[in-house]
Structure 1
Amino acid sequence: MSEAAEPTRRSTFVDHEAVYAAVGASASPDLQRFPPEGSSPFEHALKIGSGASRFLTATNTLMTWGAQRAAGVEIADISDGDAPQYAGVVFDTAGNPEAAPAADVNYGPDGEAFLTAGVTATLTWPHTKFSRRVRVVYVIDETHRSGFAIGTADDAGVVGETAFFVEHRDDDSVWAVTRGFYWAPTAGLLKLKARAATRLAQKSAISQINALAPGIARGATTEGP
């Protein structure tokens, strides 16, 4: 299903922990053309199968950190934060914000709760021991599209936002998509390798979403952003 065919039901959580501007901008299909000022945008899509069953399986995996874990990224220190006190907003077909309805908590087949806006976690790339604190800034829950976006909650490297979602398109194909935008580090040793750090962050995001494809081996990504 194309993005234009469904109203966007996006629950956005904007809070003091964000360390970058334009929170939620990764939801825009025009991100490549109109990225936040000074940021480097990217987008990558991979066909991972077809049919409603494949879409459901990919959704269950994605919404429980499965793409990250399958790519070898460790997830720790998961916290709901203050999400229960903030219902978020959704956007109508014209892009206008409106109050979000009470969110239902969905669960994967193993009983793990789906990600919700406001969840925080620490992502660690074991081969380098590099860690980043991130926050789920919105989730997508549509009939033919589901996913979430994480934003950096520290400034230990590149800062910005990454969306991960799966789509069940009109031709019955299922696609895994990631897009986002990053600002390069502006201080410390990482500043000297700013472009390389940004490319590495993009590569890591692509490795994570590609891990949703059948047959992708665990540990596909070994370096962190």
Structure 2
Amino acid sequence: MTIVGPRRTTQNDSDRVLNYAAIGATRSDEVVAFPPHGYRPFEATQRLGSGDARFEAAAQLLMSWGIHRISGIAVSDLQLENPKRAYAEVAYDQDGKPLAPRLPVDAAGMGADGVPQVIAGMTATVEYGWGPFRTPAPVKVVYVIDEPDRKGFACGTRHGHPASGEELFLLTRDETGSVHLTVRSVMRASDAKHMLPMTLMRVGERQYTKRILSALHPTRAAAFAA
């Protein structure tokens, strides 16, 4: 696994542009039943245990790219946008009234192991695959969920990604204290030349999903930390 912290880059604005229009589609549960035209929806949930300690430990891992790192998915080229042009997420109160935008933190937002925390507007390259078959995929964090009982983030695909769409990784704690991880996505091939890579990714989707959903389970997380 490779992670590179924020550093200077030769990326231009076009490299950071998302390659799909339905930004934020994964926020809604209904997107699974009513996906954007031409997109394939997916959702799966795994129970991780219960209790505040379990939730907090899983959230800390999730928000420092742990779900990818533990799954063996390489994450590199983490970049923070220019703060003056940063992707600012709008927060809402319980009545749906918009509050002040949530401005992303600076490069000091690091996890305990020195890995940058997930921030709205951050760009990265993730690398999917099995064995010698690897597919680099540029993504951008389009929104972050930071609530007392809900933590997570969604990655949108950028130009150069074999897919077009969005994937949400959401950790929740219910009224009984049970902790669950949900993965929700809407995806399609970004263009004709990426039909084969997308087909290969879908062939391995079951194994990929199993790895992702179990990544924050206490047994795997403890082994990773060790």
Settle same-fold status: TM greater than 0.5: yes
* 1:160 partnered with 2:183: no
Per-residue Cα deviation, 1:148-181 (whole angstroms, up to 9, x for no partner): 0001112441211000011111111000111010
CA shift, 1:194, in A, is: 5.5
Q: List gaps (5 residues or longer) in structure 1.
A: 1-14, 219-225
Per-residue Cα deviation, 1:53-110 (whole angstroms, up to 9, x for no partner): 0000000000000010100011111101235533221234455544314456765333
Q: 1:172 to 1:116 in 2, by over 3 A?
A: same
C-alpha distance in structure 1 between counterparts of 2:155 and 2:202, whole Å: 16
Letter in 2 for 1:133: P
Q: List gaps (5 residues or longer) in structure 2.
A: 1-14
* 1:183 partnered with 2:184: no
The residue that corresponds to 2:45 in the other structure is: 45
TM-score when scaled to structure 1?
0.78
C-alpha distance in structure 2 between counterparts of 1:30 and 1:99, whole Å: 27
Q: 1:196 to 1:24 in 2, by over 3 A?
A: same
Q: Secondary structure at the match of 1:76?
A: strand
Letter in 1 for 2:62: L
Q: Secondary structure at the match of 1:171?
A: coil
Letter in 2 for 1:148: F
* 1:141 partnered with 2:136: no
Q: Secondary structure at the match of 2:213?
A: helix
The residue that corresponds to 1:125 in the other structure is: 128
Letter in 1 for 2:121: G
CA shift, 1:185, in A, is: 4.3
The residue that corresponds to 2:90 in the other structure is: 89
Q: Which of the two has greater helix per residue? A: 2
The residue that corresponds to 2:65 in the other structure is: 65
TM-score when scaled to structure 2?
0.77
